[in-house]
Every structure is written in structure tokens, then in C-alpha cells.
């Protein structure tokens, strides 16, 4: 299972949603995915759309 998180300007917070895979989780966010990310059960970032994206660095 993967979880979605939202960056509130200070920290990443869990949205409470869990999904079987990151593709489905990201699709459900639709166009409203800025400052969101999907993490696996170990906390590894799978996909993210924010200026804080460690995957872009």
C-alpha cells in the first residue's frame, strides 16, 4: 500500500488515503496534485509534484 501526503508549507502531512499502487493514488489526485506526493510503506517518495521534490535534485 502507498499513501498520499500534502506539503502545508512547513511539513509533509498524510492525507489519510491509502492505495494499492502509486499510479492509482496519483490518478485520483487528478490535476490537483501540486504539493502532493506518494510514499511507500517505508517512506520512500515514489512520485511528487512540488518545488520541494527531492527526486529533481
- Per-residue pLDDT tens over the stretch 2-47: 999 999 888 999 999 999 999 999 999 988 889 999 999 999 999 9
CB 22 within 8 A of CB 38: yes
The confidence score (pLDDT) of residue 57 equals 46
The confidence score (pLDDT) of residue 5 equals 96
Cell of 45: 517518495
Rounded to two decimals, the pTM is 0.84
User: Residues near 37 by Cβ (< 8 Å), separated by ≥ 6?
Assistant: 4, 5, 7, 12, 45, 46, 47, 48, 49, 50, 53
pLDDT at position 56 over 60? no
Q: What secondary structure letter does DSSP report for 29?
A: H
Q: How far apart are CA 37 and CA 48, in angstroms?
A: 4
Amino acid at each position: 500500500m502507498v499513501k498520499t501526503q500534502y506539503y502545508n508549507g512547513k511539513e509533509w502531512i498524510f492525507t489519510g488515503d491509502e492505495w494499492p499502487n502509486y499510479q492509482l493514488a496519483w490518478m485520483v489526485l487528478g490535476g490537483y496534485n501540486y504539493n502532493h506526493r506518494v510514499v511507500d510503506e517505508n517512506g520512500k517518495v515514489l512520485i511528487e509534484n512540488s518545488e520541494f521534490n527531492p527526486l529533481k535534485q
